[in-house]
Amino acid sequence: MTIFDTLDILGTIAFAISGALSAMNKKFDLFGIFIISFVTAIGGGTLRDMLIGNTPVSWMQNPFNIYIISTVACFSIVFRNKLYYLKKSLFLFDTIGLGVFTIIGIEYGIQANLAPMISIALGTMTGCFGGVIRDVLCNEIPIIFRKEIYATASILGGVCFTVLFNLNMPLNSIYISTTLLIILIRLLVVKYQVSLPKFSIQDQKN
Amino acid sequence: MTIFDTLDILGTIAFAISGALSAMNKKFDLFGIFIISFVTAIGGGTLRDMLIGNTPVSWMQNPFNIYIISTVACFSIVFRNKLYYLKKSLFLFDTIGLGVFTIIGIEYGIQANLAPMISIALGTMTGCFGGVIRDVLCNEIPIIFRKEIYATASILGGVCFTVLFNLNMPLNSIYISTTLLIILIRLLVVKYQVSLPKFSIQDQKN
Amino acid sequence: MTIFDTLDILGTIAFAISGALSAMNKKFDLFGIFIISFVTAIGGGTLRDMLIGNTPVSWMQNPFNIYIISTVACFSIVFRNKLYYLKKSLFLFDTIGLGVFTIIGIEYGIQANLAPMISIALGTMTGCFGGVIRDVLCNEIPIIFRKEIYATASILGGVCFTVLFNLNMPLNSIYISTTLLIILIRLLVVKYQVSLPKFSIQDQKN
């Protein structure tokens, strides 16, 4: 098992927990909790695979992911009150998932010979789309568009990845350092409550 | 025409009616009714085809589906008040669609050499996704996450399918018996108002 | 650069502006504005490519689109109040995008040897889906299902395209004339406030 695979499993677990909690917040039933857990965890990778034509998509090639996600969903249900109490550690999980999946997505893009800019976009989508689809299915405006510098951390990590990659750094070091960078950026951003500027349109009536 | 094709057409008609009624409930215009009818009927199969890389997706390989759906949408508009009155028969149609599309999805999964667990997941998505996208486009929380043992019927039927398949039962009997099983489970579940448990998160403030 | 490419760029710009304005209306942050701009502009083409199996999807094969959309999003932010004031010109842009992308989608369908009816459906989706996903991500019911003869213009233009194509008219003339036809239909429809009939279901309780 490579470092890549380990990161992938960590990210999957992190996102599966975040999905299960969202679904319980919305009072979904048992199946709803499983499915939101599932789409949050595999949504980003599935979009990535469909965009680059890597079919059957990754989670179909190995049932291992389904077992992990089911186990995590059960675990989240049993420990739901403890997990909620540990909101901060959940935020941490979500952030790990973001970092890991972004880097995995960029790696796929590079392997598919896409331009660096495109690979970064692919990585950002891989990292963010699971959360977007979770929010769409829960009938909410995706949180990443409004509240936090979420995708921005992802993009900065991606830029860093392509720079290091072009400097021919060893791959494993790149994976770990850029994943940590994304996680670090997001943690700092939330700690110091940095947020991106918003632009609203002035009312023309007066 | 095989039994497989006949089931496919039945399911398409059932889902197209269900989509048209949802759109009329939301007061969509003529085009909106057609398109919701269309995505409800072909959504599940389209997701299935994109996930396994079966492109151009099925409905593109034969215009026959578009003709059926258009006809059904017209029919639903003309007889909208009667159909609504017949809510129970609609529920029946929706249930037939679920059973049929689930089994078709599993069959595709097996043909693509996917693991049994993955084939069942693919079948469940094929059966449920049309309704999910219908509800997302109507800006509602997908009903299958909250109200009824819907996907669960689908999953149970799928398990049964793979068991019978491994026992080398004749294919046509498997198709029909498992489709009927899914339909039966859902009918019983609704009749006796069985529902899955929900888990909500306790308020930590007190 | 062919006329086809020029039309594509025009449509992309038009849809990117429309996406940026929607996002600012919803008070999304900087990243949210970029991403909604992006998905509105590339959403239709991405769905089209995934449906016909043209992967990696178009925007991945050339970073040019990302540069255009980013530039347009910046421009939209800077001139947001002027753009809003110019609502009518925006409507024009959106209409241009619809016309252009519909015709491009049909062209792809014909190249993939799809039936004429299917190519028209593919073109309509290419033209409309960017706006649909924009509205879904903004948590609104897609406007095309309710308010205007939008997709209908697209379908009429598509029918016209296939007729002219079968008459062996020169391609460039077909592209331009049918794109203009779609734009014209939509402009007239809005000017004279034509709308499609709606069908609602009578209350059965009285």
- The model's pLDDT over A6-17, given as tens digits with 9 standing for 90+, comes to 878 888 998 998
In angstroms, rounded to a whole number, what is the distance separating the alpha carbons of residues C111 and A132? 33
Residue C206: pLDDT above 60?
no
ipTM reported for the complex surpasses 0.85: no
Residue C200 placed within a domain: no
B136 contact residues in A (CB cutoff 8 A): 136-137
CB of B65 closer than 8 Å to CB of B6 = no
Closest-CA residue of A relative to C51 is A50
Task: Write the burial class of residue B90 (CB in 10 Å: 0-12 exposed, 13-18 middle, 19+ buried).
Answer: middle
Residue A204: pLDDT above 70?
no
Closest-CA residue of A relative to B128 is A35
Separation in Å, CA of B197 to nearest CA in chain A: 6
> What domain count does chain B have?
1
Half-sphere exposure of B186 (CA within 13 A, CB side): 27
Both tokens of residue B70?
A: 């258009």
Q: Do C139 and A144 touch (CB under 8 A)?
A: no
Is the peptide bond prior to A63 cis by the omega test (within 30 degrees of 0)?
A: no
Closest-CA residue of A relative to B204 is A85
CB of A178 closer than 8 Å to CB of A155 = no
Residue C130 placed within a domain: yes
Task: Write the burial class of residue C92 (CB in 10 Å: 0-12 exposed, 13-18 middle, 19+ buried).
Answer: middle
**pLDDT value of residue A206:** 38
B66 contact residues in C (CB cutoff 8 A): 117-118, 121
Site from A199, A202, A203, A206 to mutate, C interface, most C CB atoms within 10 angstroms: A199
Both tokens of residue C46?
A: 């991405």
Residue A200 placed within a domain: no
Q: What is the pTM of this model?
A: 0.87
Q: Establish if C194 touches chain B: CB-CB under 8 angstroms.
A: no
- Return the amino acid letter for A107: E
- Return the amino acid letter for C124: T
**pLDDT value of residue B205:** 44
Q: Establish if A141 touches chain B: CB-CB under 8 angstroms.
A: no
Residue B127 placed within a domain: yes
- As a whole number, the mean pLDDT across chain C is 84
CB of A3 closer than 8 Å to CB of A176 = yes
Residue C205 placed within a domain: no
Positive or negative, the CA dihedral A83, A87, A93, A94 is: positive
For the segment B24-60, what is each residue's pLDDT rounded down to a tens digit? 888 888 888 888 999 999 999 999 999 999 989 999 9
Residue C147: pLDDT above 70?
no
For the segment A164-202, what is each residue's pLDDT rounded down to a tens digit? 988 988 888 888 889 889 889 888 888 887 777 777 776
Q: Establish if C64 touches chain A: CB-CB under 8 angstroms.
A: no
Residues 103-122 of C with CB under 8 A from B: 112, 114-115, 117-118, 121-122
Residue A57: pLDDT above 90?
yes
In chain A, which residue ranges form alpha helices assigned H by DSSP? 3-25, 30-52, 64-78, 80-85, 87-111, 116-137, 151-166, 171-191
Both tokens of residue A109?
A: 């893009």
Residue C100 placed within a domain: yes
Closest-CA residue of B relative to A28 is B146
For the segment B161-195, what is each residue's pLDDT rounded down to a tens digit? 889 988 988 888 888 899 889 889 888 888 887 77
User: From the CB of residue B87, how many other CB atoms can be counted at a distance below 10 Å?
Assistant: 11
Per-residue HEC secondary structure of chain B comes to CCHHHHHHHHHHHHHHHHHHHHHHHCCCEHHHHHHHHHHHHHHHHHHHHHHHCCCCCHHHCCCHHHHHHHHHHHHHHHCHHHHHHCHHHHHHHHHHHHHHHHHHHHHHHHHCCCCHHHHHHHHHHHHHHHHHHHHHHCCCCCHHHCCCCCHHHHHHHHHHHHHHHHCCCCHHHHHHHHHHHHHHHHHHHHHCCCCCCECCCCCCCC
Point out the residue among B52, B152, B201 whose CB comes nearest to the CB of A81: B201
Specify the range with the lowest mean pLDDT, choosing from A42-56, A149-163, B75-89.
Answer: B75-89
Residues 29-48 of A with CB under 8 A from B: 29-33, 35-36, 46
- As a whole number, the mean pLDDT across chain A is 84
Point out the residue among C28, C56, C57 whose CB comes nearest to the CB of A198: C28
Distances (CA, A) of B119 to A62, B44, B97, B110, C43: 11, 14, 18, 6, 29
C73 contact residues in A (CB cutoff 8 A): none
Both tokens of residue B53?
A: 């890389």
In angstroms, rounded to a whole number, what is the distance separating the alpha carbons of residues C128 and C106? 13
Residues of the domain holding C100: 3-191
Which subunits have 3 or more CB–CB pairs within 8 Å of chain C?
Answer: A, B
Q: Do B36 and C144 touch (CB under 8 A)?
A: no
Point out the residue among C50, C136, C146 whose CB comes nearest to the CB of B50: C50
Which long-range CB contacts under 8 A does C162-169 form with residues at least 24 apart?
C162/C106, C162/C116, C162/C119, C162/C120, C165/C110, C166/C116
